[in-house]
Amino acid sequence: MNPATYGTYLVTQASVSAGRETTEIVEAAVDGGIDVVQLREKATDARWRYDLGLEVRELTAEAGVDLIVNDRVDIAQAIDADGVHLGQSDLPVAVARDLLGPEVVIGCSASTVDEATRAEADGADYLGVGSVYGTTSKDVEADRAGVGPERIADISTAVSIPVVGIGGITAENAGPVVDAGAVGVAVVSEITAAEDPCAATDSLAAAVETAKAVGDTPPHDG
């Protein structure tokens, strides 16, 4: 449970999975080398998400992949997830930390430096920053516009906890997000809506690793 290793991060959403089960998508992503899975599933009731969470927990636990639950601290506890991811309108990070204890991973969404530094001070273990390139997965004007890799750089400089970029990210544009300071990228459609989610995960992971390798290469003195 080390968010610094969250290079590829799948956020589940059955409504964009082309009629496939979320467990099918997760299993394919695991086979493709995903590092962490977030059970999101907006617009579903608690019981449905709990039952699905138990199935996903079994898949991720067997593979040694972290499982994070979006928003719901109670469901995270109930299915023994590795962590929870909170938005700005969810329970405060500090409250979730008191409920969950020191060992559980807590992530927090942030789109500004102020939100990011406050989340870190309150005990967040990592930040989900975006929407980087804009996205249609949430009906929010700011999400559609995108904050750009520049915001990743601003926030990564301001905090000491890992930053994961999210929003409109693909294998083709993941590199600048990592170059800006993110440890990895979180995606919904890039994997969930892909014809081959396993291959899509593999491509995304390769793009992230390539960007990291380039960033770690020392300058050539010529």
212 is in an annotated binding site: no
137 is in an annotated binding site: yes
2 is in an annotated binding site: no
188 is in an annotated binding site: yes
89 is in an annotated binding site: no
Minimal CA–CA distance to 155: which of 193, 190, 115, 207? 115
> Is 153 buried (19+), middle (13-18) or exposed (0-12) by CB count in 10 A?
middle
21 is in an annotated binding site: no
Token representation of residue 110:
């942030």
71 is in an annotated binding site: yes
70 is in an annotated binding site: yes
109 is in an annotated binding site: yes
39 is in an annotated binding site: yes
What is the radius of gyration, based on Cα positions, of the chain?
A: 16
The residue type found at 102 is P
Distance CA 55, CA 206 (A): 28
201 is in an annotated binding site: no
DSSP code, position 15: G
156 is in an annotated binding site: no
Contact assessment for residue 180 and residue 150, using Cβ atoms and an 8 Å cutoff: yes
41 is in an annotated binding site: yes
90 is in an annotated binding site: yes
The residue type found at 141 is E
Contact assessment for residue 67 and residue 39, using Cβ atoms and an 8 Å cutoff: yes
Give binding residues for Mg(2+) as ranges: 71, 90
Give binding residues as ranges: 38-42, 70-71, 90, 109, 135-138, 168, 188-189
